[in-house]
Amino acid sequence: MKKLVLGFTFVLALAMTAMGAEVSGYISDSTCAHKQGAKAAGDGHAGCAKSCIKRGDKAVLVTPEGKIYSITNQDKVTEHAGQKVTLVGNVEGDSITVTEVKS
Neighbours of 70 (CB within 10 A): 15
Say what the pTM is.
0.79
Q: How far apart are the first and last CA of the chain?
A: 46
Buried b (16+ CB within 10 A) or exposed e, 75-95: ebbeebbbbebebbbebeeee
**For the chain, domain boundaries:** 21-102
| pLDDT tens by residue, the chain, 103 residues | 665 544 555 555 555 544 589 999 999 999 999 998 888 888 888 999 999 999 999 999 999 999 999 999 999 999 999 999 999 999 999 999 999 999 8
